[in-house]
Amino acid sequence: MCGICGFVKNDAAQLDLQHLRLMNETMAHRGPDDAGDFVDQNVFLAMRRLSIIDLAQGHQPMLTPDKMLCVVFNGEIYNYQELRQELQQKGYHFSTDSDTETLLHGYHAWGIEELLARLNGMFGFCIYDIAQKQLFLARDRAGEKPIYYYRNADYFIFASELKVLTHTHSIPCAIDHDALATYLLHQYTPGSQTLLANTYKLPPASYLRLNIENLDYDIIPYWDIPHSASLSSASLEEHKTKLYELLTDSVKIRLRADVPVGAFLSGGLDSSINVALIATLGITDLNTFSIGFEHQDFDESPYSQQVAQHFGTKHHHFLLNPKELTTLLPRVLAMVDEPVADAASIPTYWLCQESRKFVKVALTGEGADELFAGYDYYRHLPYPPLSTSPISWKQKIKQYLGLSNPSLELQGMPDPISGFPLMTPFSTITQLLVPECSPEHLLSAYHRQVTQNFAIFPNHSLAKAQYYDIKTWLPDDLLMKVDKMSMANSLEVRAPFLDHRLVEYSFTLPDALKIQGDTVKLLLRESFSDLLPVSILKREKHGFNLPMHIWLRGDLKELVMDTLNPNTLRQEGLLNANTVTSILDQFINHNAPCERLVYSLYVFQQWWHALQRR
């Protein structure tokens, strides 16, 4: 696990080794154990390392013996031992025990496409092929590890974190107004967009191929979720056996490490299953971690304690109280990197910070809700499927975004695809932005995003909803939050449910094995009913629910009001000061339930102010 960065330049670019090392130092938190760089004429690569596997010999950048291939790698290849054996049988010799070396020999043996097809892991890596004068950037299937990039006439530059580029003044800090509108709709920026103009994220399950001579590049997807119109007809028992086997193996290979491994344990179904499977694999002295709040309605500690006692783990429960918020929040926002206004970043940061005192790696339950239909809003999807409705997708999106309503509304509608609650109607977004973003620009981008691959799910609204969440909400909010908060604390977080074999399998399941009446994640509950306490199996999904409406009107009120000061907003000219003031008045003085929007505005402004100071 580490962070990677680099650039390819022409002779006119004012970039050099000192600039590369400044970039690398900016993300020292991602890899405090080691650092390295590599220069070959106009190609500059660097990395920071958090040592997890082969602590002594895994130094990067790593080169092949003939010095014709170089790699910098962020992440973990969980099936590296199996790939290593296969490559050794083909005559390749290994000088380390690290998973990084499998990337070099695997690329040489199979090429980039077949290498990526064989990998089981989370990763963002760069392979420089000196002979072919090509550089490849690749991102894992689910999007657990991000890669940002920017190109102009003089150089192509990339990094694991956006602030690596902004801190070193490698990119112009100009706002993409369409992206800002999308952020205010979702609370994150979906797809390849970032809030900075002409600066992008490499999409999950894709690789970028760069010609180092002319800086031309193309982006090629290498995987997507396969789906057949005829779903599996296997029996419930057969599905239970299959799921148990797949998830057990996924947990098993994610326990591979040369450092202590623990697990997050909220007491919910997903994290409890992880702990149960770790126990069945014979792991003893497991450290588990949970977080709670002083407000009892938001505290899950009784459930996590119950699971910990059931499996005999060494459980650590951390309490986040309001007094710590004003100190903690600036640290969290400094590491958010790009605005993701998911308030769960706050407890996630705290959980990672405290867990890191005991372990270097922790397993998490991320992804289970998207794969097995765990969100409550999935239960309210229209049946028959939306695709049979006489209302077209574009008409429905217009209807949901409220393009024709000029009033200031503070309640977003459900997303027309997944049912996820959008943050605010477009009519309010247009009043927030200065200058106003064109409604049609946002609409067309949004429409393309949600419908481009729906042909593989004919007449199947639940699969479309899950697919949409896996492609947007999961990588661009949940996994982005986990990556930034864990790496801020030099902790590696692994998600067994995001094994691509499990993702593919989940899309063979009929709806009845996911949702049945008021029961969500039915197959998941049935498959592990023999391992978990009944109270956990029957417990409704809780999630990282926070008392944000209390905090924003109380301990955080002064911070928010100062940050969203109307005089400052008018000087900056990005958000309409009158509209923001009206929203704050409705929230603070009239108890309007718009804490998500208030927090999103606060997060954006804090990020923008920090950007101006760099």
Residue 268's alpha-carbon distances to 219, 374, 508, 532, 535, in angstroms, are 38, 11, 25, 11, 10
pLDDT digits (tens, 9 = 90+) for 561-609: 999 999 999 999 999 999 999 999 999 999 998 999 999 999 999 999 9
Task: Point out which residues pair with 127 in neighbouring strands.
Answer: 71, 136
Whole-number pLDDT of residue 335: 85
Residue 373's nearest CA partner among 519, 204, 495, 481 is 519
Please compute the mean of the pLDDT values over residues 513-524 and round it to a whole number.
91
Whole-number pLDDT of residue 386: 40
Please compute the mean of the pLDDT values over residues 89-116 and round it to a whole number.
95
419, 377 contact by CB (below 8 A)? yes
Residues involved in catalysis: 2
Higher pLDDT, 538 or 487: 487
Whole-number pLDDT of residue 226: 82
Q: How confident is the model at residue 322 (pLDDT cuts 50, 70, 90)?
A: confident
DSSP of 468-501 = HHHHTHIIIIIHHHHHHHHHHTT-EEE-GGG-HH
How far is 473 from 466, CA to CA, in rounded Å?
10
Whole-number pLDDT of residue 444: 61
Whole-number pLDDT of residue 546: 76
Task: Point out which residues pair with 208 in neighbouring strands.
Answer: 137, 219
Higher pLDDT, 115 or 593: 115
pLDDT of 417 over the 80 cut: no
Whole-number pLDDT of residue 447: 60
pLDDT digits (tens, 9 = 90+) for 265-287: 998 999 999 999 999 999 988 99
Whole-number pLDDT of residue 385: 40
Q: Which CATH architecture has domain 236-374+466-537?
A: 3-Layer(aba) Sandwich (3.40)
pLDDT digits (tens, 9 = 90+) for 369-390: 999 999 988 887 754 344 434 4
pLDDT digits (tens, 9 = 90+) for 55-93: 556 677 999 999 999 999 999 999 999 999 999 999 999
Q: What angle do CA 258, 261, 267 make, to 5 degrees?
A: 170
CATH number for region 2-221: 3.60.20.10
How far is 403 from 228, CA to CA, in rounded Å?
36
Domain ranges within the chain, ordered by starting residue: 2-221, 236-374+466-537, 386-405+413-459, 547-614
Q: Which residue has the tokens 């705290």?
A: 350
How far is 448 from 455, CA to CA, in rounded Å?
13
Residue 471's alpha-carbon distances to 160, 476, 549, 562, in angstroms, are 19, 8, 29, 36
How far is 314 from 284, CA to CA, in rounded Å?
9
CA dihedral sign, ordered 276, 352, 160, 453: positive
SS3 403: coil
pLDDT digits (tens, 9 = 90+) for 341-364: 998 999 999 999 999 999 999 999
Ranking 184-198, 217-231, 293-307, 579-593 by mean pLDDT, the lowest is 293-307
pTM metric for this prediction:
0.93
pLDDT of 296 over the 70 cut: no
pLDDT of 202 over the 70 cut: yes
Whole-number pLDDT of residue 517: 85
